[in-house]
Chains A and B, each alone.
Chain A
């Protein structure tokens, strides 16, 4: 009986194995074919760019905007003849988590032979990709990661940073908080996203509170996969603070803001990190406070207006700051390739380090600071409009004037050489 069963099983096994071999053969043939195709079709004409960004998880919603933004930039550049007569080919993938991000970056360099790496929103993944870039001596434009350590302690020669760092985010709204008398002598309770970015933000925020006479009575770490904040809200109520400060990230901010409004606690809330997509998701009735952003869709420059119109037409929704930042990042890279007439990492680095100026669709032009590779640019504080003063659901955010002001140095809010430990 037993033997019988075994032979039957074996039969099935061998049958399926035969099947497997056949399938494997077909699949292998197809891969070989598709692998040989690009060589024949490509004719050295496209410049391959590896693009990694989180498409899933608590930053996934932002990643979708990012992928759309860079795709649109590539299509526009290619439609107008490409760069050095060659087309840009964006290979966009979900970076998933820091380990997977590093593996994919390595694979893109080795197997896909990409000329540059671009992307990222998660500071933790940007860090691992930056290490891969450093080892392989390939340029990595870290577009949406904001942790200070990336352009500080962990900086490297091959990585350039486009988004505003944590210090700028804190400084951009910090003065407004001091002005509104929300800091001095106040009991402050903060919640921090439990990963690289959150820890970094918490450190800078803590320094800001203490420097300005605030009293930080609690700072709790929140796992990035937490969706229910009720136990934290109870802790906040028990602590009876004067002010709640959010050092959360991505979808966390949305959930926290919504549940905060649900519980109806009386303390004012501020925070240093909120992307417009997360603000939109929180909904108009739930949000309050003052927040910083790197760009917003109501910016009245001709470039921004055209970008918003084209993006909205193409994707049927208003672009969020991550769509914009990916769009201008690829254009900056294209400008560098055109100017140096080369896709060589070293030449592009030299160009960026020359503090060449870039039109990033804002009032003032931006440039990479040579010694920490941070893009120097304007930022904007935003608050929430009073109910009934707007029509569309995109329009409930109220954006303030650019900081630093037009007559001030773009480096005013950033770390200076004494504060920043970056050594390349």
Chain B
């Protein structure tokens, strides 16, 4: 029985990993291509959750899953064009400061607009409750999230691996200079990557809002986890991030099974162990310009 219980935690961890993935993937992409650590990534997740509340109020949950990421994606384009673009070649400390500052401004902005009190956000009532698969208990809503993450993941993988867009992006990660020599401007690609990255983060906000509460500092809180996932996964690797997200979720579940108080600390211990063994992260590629 103990084994079944543990397995249940592992499976639940996989689901949780899917949600971490929505945030970490964009963060990793933006860093790999632009060389910028976007500390404001969590802010877009929070904006997504708040916008989603307003959209749900007017049009319902389904439309919100579409409208919110598109809206936040557009914000991402503005963000990249006006702000982020200036820092690709600058000292990394500058982009850290700018995005960190932006995250604070957004958090305070949300507090001014919607108040500090957490807002209730409910999932559609048909998603409430659980499904039993054999011995395992799943929340219906989380199963739905997991399925959705699979679809998103598939789309992003296809985009990066089976299209000319992806080819340029991947080349740009390794040798931006060569891409430039070939007469391709990387800037529009970067804009798209940022838009895509923050839109998936916003989608995370839409989907996870109903599980927790929507509150101004939710972005800051999730950033830490997303960052840990990216570091564990290693830069520039799609599957590295996927693997790390799942691993963080599973390790957290197993830790809580045995030692509940250490639940939140588990991912940092995991990060420590991984970095000791693999300094570039699990599947991190060697990217010459970052070495």
Q: Which residues of A contact B (CB under 8 A)?
A: 55-57, 60-61, 63-65, 194, 220-223, 225-228, 230-232, 234-235, 237-238, 251, 254-255, 258-259, 261-265, 277-278, 280-286, 317, 320, 393
For residue B5, CB closer than 8 A to chain A, the reply is yes
Q: B261 to A64, Cβ gap below 8 A?
A: no
A264 CB contact (under 8 Å) in B128, B211, B218, B252: B128
Residue of A nearest to B129 (CB): A264
For residue B237, CB closer than 8 A to chain A, the reply is no
Q: A264 to B130, Cβ gap below 8 A?
A: yes
What are the residues of chain A within 8 A of B141 when measuring CB–CB? 262
Chain A min CB distance to B154 (Å): 24
What are the residues of chain B within 8 A of A280 when measuring CB–CB? 117, 120
For residue B118, CB closer than 8 A to chain A, the reply is yes
Instruction: Known pairs A64-B115, A254-B213; list 18 more (Cβ under 8 Å).
Output: A60-B217, A220-B260, A225-B264, A228-B211, A230-B139, A231-B13, A231-B253, A234-B12, A258-B210, A262-B211, A263-B130, A264-B129, A277-B117, A278-B118, A281-B119, A282-B120, A285-B122, A286-B122
A-B contact pairs, 30 of them (CB 8 A): A55-B116, A61-B118, A61-B215, A63-B116, A65-B117, A220-B260, A220-B261, A227-B218, A228-B211, A228-B212, A230-B15, A230-B16, A231-B13, A231-B263, A232-B256, A234-B12, A238-B8, A251-B118, A255-B212, A259-B211, A262-B123, A262-B142, A264-B130, A277-B117, A280-B117, A281-B120, A282-B120, A283-B121, A284-B120, A286-B122
A232 CB contact (under 8 Å) in B116, B118, B260: B260
What are the residues of chain A within 8 A of B265 when measuring CB–CB? 223
* In the bound complex, CA of A283 to CA of B124 (Å): 13
For residue B137, CB closer than 8 A to chain A, the reply is yes
B260 CB contact (under 8 Å) in A235, A265, A285: A235
Q: A234 to B260, Cβ gap below 8 A?
A: no
Chain B min CB distance to A282 (Å): 7
What are the residues of chain A within 8 A of B215 when measuring CB–CB? 60-61, 251, 281
Best-buried of B5, B8, B121, B263 by chain A (most CB within 10 Å): B263
Q: B118 to A281, Cβ gap below 8 A?
A: yes
A55-B116, A60-B116 given; A258·B9 CB < 8 A: no
Chain A min CB distance to B78 (Å): 27
Chain B min CB distance to A245 (Å): 15
Q: A223 to B261, Cβ gap below 8 A?
A: yes
A230-B142, A231-B256, A258-B212 given; A222·B119 CB < 8 A: no
* In the bound complex, CA of A257 to CA of B254 (Å): 22
* In the bound complex, CA of A254 to CA of B213 (Å): 7
Q: B115 to A261, Cβ gap below 8 A?
A: no
Q: A261 to B16, Cβ gap below 8 A?
A: no
Instruction: Please encode chain B, from 1 to 43, with 1 for each CB lying within 8 Å of some chain A CB and 0 for all others.
Output: 0000100110011011000000000000000000000000000
Residue of B nearest to A263 (CB): B139
Q: Report the 9 A-B pairs with minimum CB-CB distance, sorted nearest first.
A: A283-B120, A264-B129, A231-B256, A64-B116, A221-B261, A281-B118, A220-B260, A223-B264, A61-B117
Chain B min CB distance to A110 (Å): 29
Residue of B nearest to A266 (CB): B130
* In the bound complex, CA of A45 to CA of B87 (Å): 51
What are the residues of chain B within 8 A of A64 when measuring CB–CB? 115-117
A262 CB contact (under 8 Å) in B15, B139, B221: B139
A234 CB contact (under 8 Å) in B9, B116, B210: B9
Q: A221 to B260, Cβ gap below 8 A?
A: yes
Chain B min CB distance to A325 (Å): 16
Chain B min CB distance to A221 (Å): 4
* In the bound complex, CA of A235 to CA of B256 (Å): 9
What are the residues of chain B within 8 A of A230 when measuring CB–CB? 12, 15-16, 139, 142, 253
